[in-house]
Amino acid sequence: MAATLNHTIVWCRDAAASAGFLAEILERPAPRPFHHFLVVDLDNGVSLDFMAKEGAVAMQHYAFLVDEAGFDAGLARVQARQLEWWADPARTRPGEINTYGGGRGFYFLSPDGHLLELMTKPYPVA
């Protein structure tokens, strides 16, 4: 059976703010409504469907493979918002960029505390 990821639900407190934040950082089109979701479409046909909920939001990790120009633009937008970023998911190397797999990458938090990652090369499989 062939299987590909089509979409995932991203739980948040404010769908408009959270979906808008991601769309801005990734230079995506404005989020589009679909039923009770706000959808951010990616280039590979996968979407992130933001849905607001009451109460705490559990942290999730979302990694985005971008080209070099997209990486530089994304980092510039993170810096312009004066957000913290780290070279590692444990957040022990603030303000640094990693070179995992021969590319560049960094991690930062969404408004709901999801750990987002921009990377220019997929990580090698061990």
Q: Compute the average pLDDT of residues 11-31.
A: 97
Q: How far apart are CA 79 and CA 96, in angstroms?
A: 12
pLDDT for the residue 71: 98
Q: Looking at residue 2, what is its pLDDT?
A: 93
Q: Which CATH number fits domain 7-119: 3.20.20.80, 3.90.320.10, 3.10.180.10, 3.40.50.720?
A: 3.10.180.10
Residue 89 has pLDDT above 80, yes or no: yes
- Token pair, residue 74, equals 């994304």
Nearest to 113 by CA among 83, 88, 81, 93: 83
Q: Is the pLDDT of residue 63 over 90?
A: yes
The residue extents of the domains of the chain are 7-119
Q: What is the mean pLDDT of the chain?
A: 96
Residue 72 has which token pair? 């530089």
pLDDT at 124: 86
| Torsion (CA) 85, 88, 91, 95 in degrees, nearest 10 | -30
Q: Band of the pLDDT at 125, cuts 50, 70, 90?
A: confident
